[in-house]
Every structure is written in C-alpha cells, then in structure tokens.
Amino acid sequence: MKKSSLIQMIKIISSNFIGNFGSQVFSFGVGLFILKETGSALSFGLTILISPIVSLILTPFIGYLVDNFNRKWIVLLAQFCSTLSMLILFILFNFSNLNLYAEIITLLIILSICEKSLSVAFTSSIRSLVSDKDIQKTNSYLQVSSSLSMILAPVLGSVLFALQNFSTFILTIMLTEACSLILNIFINFKFNKITVNDKEKEKGVKKESIWCSFRSSIQYIKGKPLIIFVISIASFVNLFITSVFVGLPYVNIHIFQMNNIQYGFVEAGIAVGIFLAGIILGMKEDSKDPIRNLQMGIVGISMLIILLSVPFFTHLSNTWITIYYTLINVLIGSIATVINVPIMVILHKTIDEQFKGRVFSIFLTSVQVFNPLGILIFGILFEKISPTIIFIAVGCGILLIINLLNLSLLKSKRSTLLEKGTV
C-alpha cells in the first residue's frame, strides 16, 4: 500500500509539474508575442484578466460538473482539449495569413476553461488519489512542483521564445500538454477506498439543477465554520500579499535603484522559499493540529511584511538591502507554503465528498479573483502613499483579520470542529 501510494504521488506530481510548466511557459511566451506584435499594454493586460474572469463566470458550472461526473474523465477531457487547441493554433499560425490576435484570445479563453476544470477536478480528488496519511506530503510536493515551474518557466520561456519562431514554440508547449495527458491516463482516481465508499453512498441521490446545486453548496459552506474560516483566510491573505508582489519591485527599482542582478536575486527569493519549505513539509508526518500551523504561519507573514519597511529607517547600501530583501522573500515563500499546505489538508479532510467539486471551485475562484483586485488596489496605493506606511498597515491588517476570524472560530468550539472534522 505504501509503495502504491508513493507511485501515485510520483505520477501526480510529475503530471502537475509538466502541465504547470507548459502553461506558465506558454503564458510567458504569449505575453511577449502580443507585446511585440501589438505594442499595446491594454492588449497584454487583457490576456492577464482572462483567467480570473473565466474562473468567476464558470464557478457554479464547473463545481456541478466535478461533483456529478467522473473526475478522471473531466481531467482527461480538459487536458485533451488543451492539447487539441494548441494543435489548431499551430495549424492556423502556419497556414493562415490573418492577424491571429483574436484566435490567441479565443485560445486563452479555452485554455482557462480547461485549466479551471482540470484544477478543480484534480484538487477535489486528492484524497481519492493517495492514502490519508500522504495528503500533507502530496500537497507539499505539489508546492515544490509549482515553485520549480515558477523558477524555470520564465528562464526557459525566454530562451525558447528567442531561439524558436512562434509556431515551433506552440508545438513545444503542445508536447508538454500531451505528456501530461498521458501521465493522467495512468493515475488511479479510486486509489483511496474510503472516498470510493463515500461516493457509492451518493448513488441514488436525486440530482439538482446547476443553480440549485450551487445554492446548496453555499448553504453547506455557511453551515461549516471551519471551511468559512479557511476560505476567508486564504482570500484575505491572497489579497494582502499582492502588496509584496506589487510593492517590492516598485521599491527596489524606483527607490533603491537596484540593478537587474540584484532585482533578480530578490525576486527569486520567494520561489526558493516555497521550494525549501515544500521539501521539508513533504518529509514530515501530518500535523496533528493544522489549524494552529495555519494561524502561526499567518502571524509570521504579517510580521515579515511589516519588516519590509525596515530599510527605509536605515542607511544600508544597495548590497545589504538586496541581501535583506532576498532573505525576507525566502521566509515569505517558506511561510506561504506553511500556510497553503494546512489549508489544503483541512479542506480535503473536512469537506464531504459530494460537495468537494463545488466547494473547491468556490475556494479556488475566491482566491484567484483577489489577485487582480489586489494588484489594482496596491498599484494605485504605491503611487500615492509611502511604501513604509503601506507595508506596516498591511501587516497590521492581516494580524487584525486573523484575530477576528479566530474569535469567530472559537465561538464555534474549535476543539469540537477538530474532532468532528477529523482534521
């Protein structure tokens, strides 16, 4: 059983890495292509907004789909459609003389639909894919996989884009999608017999319409304080942490005048932190109290964001500021992983099997939608207000929110939730 679970983990992580890597390289390449061909920042911005908009619109539909149909077939169909879309774009690029901007936007919409379907189906199935004791390990190594994609995709993407014409670039990404599809075929989606038995109990239950199904999932979440707690934390932290992704580059380039190498070191810090923390968590046994780990992690993130303001009160050289911000980013990446892994473990073990697709669809959408919102808000704020004030206010804001959410959770008898939720 242990060996079989390990093989499952290897297949899952390999498929995830290849698929994510291909998608991120393609996103990077498409951005460069559109900027080069159109010279329009608005056109480039539209490509970034497509994914969260599609995710928001399709939340009720994809959740319903994942909870009512075979999840493995959803994953395979989504991956197949991604591969086929790449093939069609490749053919159009080589045999059409038309301006392909509209076709690329259409492709990005299709890919966003496929990615959303695949992500919700796969995330909802984690507990079915590995044994219960390997859920934390699997989520930890998935974080490592995402981190590696984050590190390597821009590097390889720029190299491929420089060495290949765009049609060959598309073909390369299509091959990564095809490889991920082949790996997914061999993943056993009924590995964990506990969840298989849960699904068997659902047979014979009357099917609801899509809208009624979505409303019932909202009612289900409202009746689960622990799930509300986790989704609220994930959403708010995701909103506030964009202050780091927007503010730190602005501060480093426009205020501290870092050169490209210094800036590169600081930006790489978060990915390195995610990678290291994922490896460490993957080697540890499942936490007995993931809620406490989550709470402590958020306190840590808030303190680190406050510490981003320290160089403004010192007379450090650029070299020391680079070292300081790199170390802070490594810690932010590490603690972000410490937060993300307990979130996923709690959700996987708490959500009833018949609601997983809809709840994870709502969860992933709520987290994703806060990203562009945070970028917009903090993009404006950093042009109007001192970065020192913003970093301190954001850190204190996170501390305030975690305390308010803790009070709400305590009212629901935290100890009882731990026992009943088997977290």
pLDDT tens-digit map of 78-116: 999 999 988 988 888 887 766 677 778 888 888 888 888
Task: Please say which residue of 141, 167, 202 terminates a domain.
Answer: 202
- Side-chain half-sphere exposure of 399, counting CA atoms within 13 A: 13
Read off the DSSP letter of residue 253. Answer: I
Whether 195 and 268 map to the same domain: the answer is: no
Whether 72 and 28 map to the same domain: the answer is: yes
Mean pLDDT is highest, among 133-147, 151-165, 202-216, for 133-147
Residues 404, 416: Cα–Cα separation, whole Å: 19
pLDDT tens-digit map of 297-314: 888 999 999 999 999 998
Is the pLDDT reported for residue 204 higher than 50? no
pLDDT band (50, 70, 90) for residue 56: confident
Question: Does 368 fall in a domain?
Answer: yes
Could you tell me the pTM of the whole model?
0.79
Question: Does 149 fall in a domain?
Answer: yes
Question: Does 332 fall in a domain?
Answer: yes
Residues 368, 182: Cα–Cα separation, whole Å: 28
Whether 296 and 175 map to the same domain: the answer is: no
pLDDT tens-digit map of 114-148: 888 988 898 888 888 888 778 888 888 887 887 77
Number of separate domains in the chain? 2
- Among the ranges given (5-19, 38-52, 60-74, 266-280), the one the predictor scored with the smallest mean pLDDT: 38-52
Are 321 and 311 spatial neighbours (Cβ–Cβ below 8 Å)?
yes
Tokens 């390997």: give the residue.
134
Q: 344-355 burial by CB neighbour count: b if 16+ within 10 A, else e?
A: bbbbbebbebbb
Residues 365, 48: Cα–Cα separation, whole Å: 15
Whether 227 and 164 map to the same domain: the answer is: no
Task: Give the range of the structural domain holding residue 75, as residue numbers without chain letter.
Answer: 11-202
Task: Please say which residue of 147, 176, 202 terminates a domain.
Answer: 202
Whether 181 and 235 map to the same domain: the answer is: no
pLDDT of the residue at 42: 67
Whether 168 and 252 map to the same domain: the answer is: no
As a whole-number percent, the residues of the chain with pLDDT over 70 amount to: 89
Task: Please say which residue of 143, 170, 202 terminates a domain.
Answer: 202
Question: Does 383 fall in a domain?
Answer: yes
Residues 82, 177: Cα–Cα separation, whole Å: 7
Whether 149 and 291 map to the same domain: the answer is: no
Is the pLDDT reported for residue 199 higher than 60? no
CA triple 332-346-186, angle to 5 deg:
95
pLDDT tens-digit map of 312-365: 998 888 889 999 999 999 999 888 888 888 888 888 888 888 888 889 888 888
As a whole-number percent, the residues of the chain with pLDDT over 90 amount to: 13
Question: Does 1 fall in a domain?
Answer: no
Whether 254 and 370 map to the same domain: the answer is: yes
* Residue from 33, 154, 3 nearest 104 by CA: 33
pLDDT of the residue at 420: 52
Question: Does 3 fall in a domain?
Answer: no
Find the helix or strand (DSSP H, E) in which 387 lies. Answer: helix 387-411
* Residue from 52, 176, 61, 37 nearest 108 by CA: 52
- The CATH number of the domain holding residue 92 is 1.20.1250.20
pLDDT of the residue at 419: 53
CA triple 303-309-310, angle to 5 deg:
90
pLDDT of the residue at 183: 92
Whether 223 and 188 map to the same domain: the answer is: no
Question: Does 5 fall in a domain?
Answer: no
Question: Does 395 fall in a domain?
Answer: yes
Whether 239 and 333 map to the same domain: the answer is: yes
Residues 119, 100: Cα–Cα separation, whole Å: 28
Whether 123 and 255 map to the same domain: the answer is: no
